[in-house]
Structure 1
Amino acid sequence: MVVPRWRRITDHAIRYVLLTVIGAVMIYPFLYMLSTSFKTRSLILDDPLQLIPSDPTLSNYVTALTANHFGRYFVNSALVAVVSTVLIVFVSSMMAYAFSRFDFPGKRFFFVAIVVGLTIPTMMLIIPQFLLARDLHLLNSLQGLVPFYVGTALGFNTFLLTGFFETIPQELDEAMLVDGAGAWRRYWNLVLPLARPALATCAIFAFLGTWDEYAWALTTLNDTEVRTLPIAIALFQGQHSTSWGLVFAASMIAIIPVLIVYIVFQRHFVAGLAAGAVKS
């Protein structure tokens, strides 16, 4: 059946209008946060629809960067996020390679356990994680955050990478095996280069999850020298009132590393996300 031209045009117009409305609803909070970060405290409660400040100022950014050891917290978060992201991508890729290429006792059980573990809310693990960190003397330290960030993220990233690795033809492994390549060489020289889209996707998810994590850092960190950036932003919220200009300015600064990571890996992001959801 041939669809009339006017109907196709109408369908496209309705689709574009809906996408425009949805896009505007999603981007407005970000634009409002950006606008508020340039407003003085007396103008913050003005018309929320006014996205261009009448008297913009950089004082909120200056205060955010110089108050409450913000720079130290920024560096702390960067160190923890980078180390955690590297370990998450490396370990989960090795696990995914084992699940997609080898047969071993309990393989199906362990993979199902990983998938089931994804259904457990992270907040339910706070108490057992705290007790474990206490027994291992990992409380109140940046290095104590890394093992728990890595362990929390391994399940999802292993699941994602396993689906992608299974789309890589096993004939390539067999060809390298004929040439005498061992498992490590096939993993390092064959699978990882072909899996760059999926690895980039995992890197984005891992960095975002560790960079923005607040609950576990707040639970385990007490000394000001080892606090992370989300805690620094929370400190701008006073007991009786909140300096929203400072909070939004600090939040805009905190977004910068996330945007950089996404821009670097974005060309691989969509391909990796789609491939990891489909098995061959």
Structure 2
Amino acid sequence: MSRRGRRRTGVRRYLNPVTVGGLLLVVVTAAPLYWMAVTSFKSPVEAGASPPTPFPEDPTLDNYRHALDAADMGRYLYNSAVVCVSSTVIVLALALLAGYALARLPMRGRGPVMVGLLMISVFPVIAVVTPLYLVERELGLLNSHAGLIIPYVAFHLPFAVWMLRNSLLDLPRELEEAATIDGAGVLRTLRSVILPGAGPALFTAGVFTFAATWTEFLMALTLNSENDFRTIPVGIAIYGDRYQVPYGVIFAAAMAATVPVALLVLVFRRAVLSGLTDGAVKG
């Protein structure tokens, strides 16, 4: 084949509909993130300029300083960290035990239970936020970390249980039997055999739970109205006043909230994909 023919073949390979569609999807997804990052380094005058500049002409870190100091973003980040880490740890602990029970223990109605878990995992939050507010008001849980942790665990536990159960189905029973023969109890078997085998799925469920709770807005806005307990999405949304919108500070706070989760997913993307595909064919 001639050089021109090889060149045409290479061009056709990279200009197929799948590749072009993937590139368009990347551009559409990355464009808002790029604009948010660029604006976070602009001065207030440049951020509101028309037409907008594609790059900051005089980059500044003042937006980040103002977001962390004057805008209480440090407090909002702390609240988000407490709520999200606590919710993730509780979800993983309960999901491991429930997933093991569904995968190993004999029980009736296993199919309906799994279907119910899927239905709960896709249930819209907006349908229950009002009754949830009334219940937490009666229990005195409004404006507290626990008032968010409890519903976050309830909403994200079903998906984690489903993932852990499917992963544990692929774990050979012979490993547990060998541990039992060696004299290992239930807790030691869980720690030495089950945890390593369910590691990828456990990690993936943790990443999904943390990311979902970190970015959740509706329940955080409804259940925690006091400034001392607001999370970072709510803090970003309410920042500003009736006379001006400080886009640079808002985007700087959004970058501070987005980068940790994005880095977590990018660094551990292989483990996340492994957890998603582990036991995917199991029902």
Give TM-score scaled by structure 1 length: 0.89
Contact 2:121 2:155 in 1 (8 A): no
Is 1:56 the counterpart of 2:59? The answer is yes
How much does 1:18 deviate? Answer: 4.1
Aligned residues: 276
Coordinate RMSD, CA, aligned: 2.3
Aligned residue in 2 for 1:229: 232
Task: Look up the match of 1:71.
Answer: 74
Aligned to 2:259: 256
Alpha-carbon offset, residue 193 of structure 1:
1.1
Provide the secondary structure at the position in 2 that maps to 1:144: helix
1:150 is matched with which residue?
153
Counterpart of 2:15 in structure 1 is 14
Tell me which of 211, 214, 217 is aligned to 1:211. 214
1:44-193 paired onto structure 2 within 5 Å = 44=47, 45-48=49-52, 50-193=53-196
- C-alpha contact (below 8 Å) 1:201/1:265 kept by paired residues: no
Cα distance between partner residues in 1 of 2:232 and 2:271: 28
Kept in 1: contact 2:120–2:155 (CA 8 A): no
Whether 1:195 aligns to 2:193 is no
Name the SS of the counterpart of 2:15 in structure 1. helix
Distance in 2 separating the partners of 1:72 and 1:229: 8
Amino acid at match of 1:60: N
Unpaired runs of 5+ residues, structure 2, are none
Runs of at least 5 residues in structure 1 that lack an aligned partner in the other structure: none
Percent identity over the alignment is 36
Question: Could you tell me how far apart the structure 2 residues matched to 1:157 and 1:12 are?
Answer: 39
Aligned equivalents of 1:7, 1:100: Cα separation in 2: 52
1:22-61 mapped onto 2 (5 Å cutoff):
22-44=25-47, 45-48=49-52, 50-61=53-64
CA distance in 1, matches of 2:72, 2:7: 61
* Aligned partner of residue 138 in structure 1, secondary structure: coil
- Once the two structures are overlaid, the 10-residue window that deviates more, 268-277 or 128-137, is 128-137
Q: Per-residue displacement from partner, 1:145-186 (whole Å, max 9, x unpaired)? A: 111111110011111221111121222222223334344333
- What are the superposed Cα offsets for residues 177-218 of structure 1, whole Å, 9 maximum, x if unpaired? 333434433322211112221111111111111111221111
Q: How many Å separate the matches in 2 of 1:212 and 1:51?
A: 27
Q: Higher mean Cα deviation, 224-233 or 10-19?
A: 10-19
TM-score, normalised relative to structure 2: 0.88
Residues 268 and 241 (structure 1), Cα distance of their counterparts in 2 relative to 1, 3 Å cut: same
